[in-house]
Amino acid sequence: MPRTLLLAPAGRSVGLTTAALGLLRALDRQGVRVAFVRPIGTRAEDPSLALVRLGSSLSPPPPIPRPEVEALLSAGDDQTLMERVVAVSAAAGEGADVLIVEGMVPEGGLVYSQRVNALMLKALDAELVLVGAPVDQQPAELADALAIAARGFGPPGEGRSVSCIVNFVKVEDESWLDAWAGAVAAEGLTPLAILPMRPELTALRVKDLAAAIGARVRNAGDMHLRRYRDVQLCAMTVPNAVKVFVPDRLLITPADRDDIILAVSLAVLGGMRISGLVLTGGVTPNERVMQLCAPAFATGLPVLEVDESSYQTATRVEAVDRQIPIDDKERVELAMNFVADRIDPEWVRRLVSTRRAQRLSPPAFRHRLIEEARAANKRIVLPEGTEPRTIAAAAQVQARGIARCVLLGPPDEVHAQARKQGVKLPDGIEIIDPSTLSERYVEPLVSRRRARGMTLERAVIELQDPIMVGTMMMATGEADGLVSGAVHTTAHTIRPALQLIKTVPGCNLVSSVFFMCLPEQVLVFGDCAVVPNPTAEELADIAIQSADTAAAFGIAPRVAMLSYSTGASGGGEDVEHVVQATAIAKKQRPDLLIDGPLQYDAAVMPDVARSKAPGSPVAGKANVVIFPDLNTGNVTYKAVQRSAGVVAMGPLLQGLNRPVNDLSRGCLVEDIVFTIALTAIQAKQATARG
């Protein structure tokens, strides 16, 4: 059995599953092989297992059904029950370094949950992690309650202490959490994490609310995406009602209040992101008014209808269960990262100090990116400074200390766009109107491009483009990296960099890689975005660049040169092209593990490699795969990304003297955040090159 942690609740509604998910993510970030099990089921469909499957690549075994558990307990056959628990846990923990066991919760009728949890702790030889939450308690009162709960499990095993996670602590400032941690420690318990209450962690989607209260959907809009953090009943006159129109709020109003419905629609058309509108009273709204509001509804505003009064509806909405729905991946990710970020890292390091060789899982890779980017402390310019996703990403990056962001755009427009999105721009974020910088870069631009025919007049025109301004900031050493492409093409983003930044000495090619975050590991795909039909020499250069990029981001490179043929199993011009490129790359970099031609399955699947390429040092364990041309690479990465639901970070450009990175025009805020982090790390590497 792996090292086992039993998470047990110290009370009702303490967020046990959320704590388990966060602990799973914290361990996974460290490259630990972690497994999860809930040995005893309490419902026909266990939400814990569904959420674990949603937030990780794990597939925990089904629990022992509740009727069987109760039959064994009523017969006094504790031993058989614990044998079943051990069997289920062993199946879940096979091959893992750490097994997280979620205990029973004291739901209605489960008066035996505490006793069963104590039995499981001993049967599994597990370490106890208690999860509690204050119910109008002060720190000392909660700590006392946790200590009492801990004593119910008997004395801890030799050399072990009882660890605690405290959920849902209401504080105005996170520095106040130290008092809670101190109170827990004073009781001889180890404070593993003290988690503040955050509205975004309990924000339901409008579609979840509609299902919970049985509402009729008049306009679905973005109800599967939009969330509400709080609720406001609007029955006042319009001048008073508009005061409560704020982003991420659900509004409730009688269906015959045409004035409120119109006011909400105007606010939405003005850019206010209202989460949804609930019309009450069972009254049919005026159709002519609703037609006037149609443009607002077309922006994605969900509109629901109910028969109850506004007061009854507000009461029912407030009473809706805020637990994470089993299909809400975004909220699962948010909760997992929120908890993992606050778990004591020293405790995690002690826990995993004796374990197997580290693997680089996608969560571990993302965590490493953020930490390295923070350490780099680079200034990254974002030319698309008025674009909503870019603003939201910059706010996150700045707040988390990932990089120092510079948004290029008129400050009034940037701030207005942020307000519309409900984004709070943190202190320290720079907002610069590019028109105020362009004049100072005219002479430097002419100087750098005079041989190519650049004139003063032409430079003035070129510098009307914020991407050119941002590139000049890098060229003059005022910025360390640039990220663009949310609304511009790849060519538009890269062209100024090729003209002004140029390539690394000794490198004549700019290429790209994607970091493909597969369920079990991260693979590097190159080139999928830049070079259409590389020569053998260029293909070798792409392989070497990609290997160096992988190594720079913590992946020990094993490079597979891909083809439709493995070894000498096939022939033809395309295969020979890969043979030549492989030979060139090996000659230029004998220190790298490079092999080819290899088919994709032979490159990454050990069982296929044993039959197709038994003597290869790369086959079956490749983590850097090089496609023979852009057509193959681009099609493959998108097929893997979309069909398998894989996160693809990139394209990350390689070969430039200073980092410039392109975004997909369909990118998410999270994509921009990680691209900025990648760029900051590349900037650190560029500084090291001198």
Quick one: residue 129, left, alpha or beta (phi over 0 = left, psi -120 to 50 = alpha)?
A: beta
pLDDT of residue 134: 94
Strand blocks (E) in 629-686: 647-654, 660-662
Average pLDDT for 517-545: 90
CB neighbours of residue 678 within 10 Å? 24
pLDDT tens digits for range 465-489: 999 999 999 999 999 999 998 898 8
pLDDT tens digits for range 364-388: 788 888 889 999 999 999 999 999 9
Contact criterion met (CB below 8 Å) for 153 and 118: yes
Same fold, 3-197+331-351 and 203-318: no
Of 524, 401, 471, 481, which is closest to residue 685 (Cα–Cα)? 481
Q: Where are the domains of the chain?
A: 3-197+331-351, 203-318, 367-500, 511-655
Q: State the average pLDDT for the chain.
A: 90
pLDDT of residue 255: 94
Kindly indicate whether the domain formed by 203-318 is annotated with CATH number 3.40.1390.20: yes
Query: What percent of the chain shows pLDDT beyond 70?
Result: 97
pLDDT of residue 357: 43
pLDDT tens digits for range 68-125: 999 999 988 887 888 889 889 989 998 898 999 999 988 766 678 899 999 999 888 8
CA distance 141 to 134: 9
| Residue whose entry in the numeric block shows the structure tokens 């996974």 | 28
Give CA separation, 490 vs 477, 485, 497, 683, in Å.
23, 6, 11, 20
Positive/negative CA dihedral, 389, 395, 400, 401: positive
Helix boundaries (H) for 283-344: 287-292, 294-297, 310-318, 329-342
CA distance 113 to 106: 6
Architecture label for domain 3-197+331-351? 3-Layer(aba) Sandwich (3.40)
- Residue 626 structure tokens: 């090089």
Architecture label for domain 367-500? 3-Layer(aba) Sandwich (3.40)
pLDDT tens digits for range 27-50: 998 888 899 999 998 776 678 999
**Res. 667 pLDDT band, cuts 50 70 90:** confident
Kindly indicate whether the domain formed by 511-655 is annotated with CATH number 3.40.50.10750: yes
pLDDT tens digits for range 399-432: 989 999 999 999 999 999 999 888 999 988 999 9
**CB contact set of 473 (below 8 Å; sequence gap of 6+):** 381, 406, 437, 479, 482
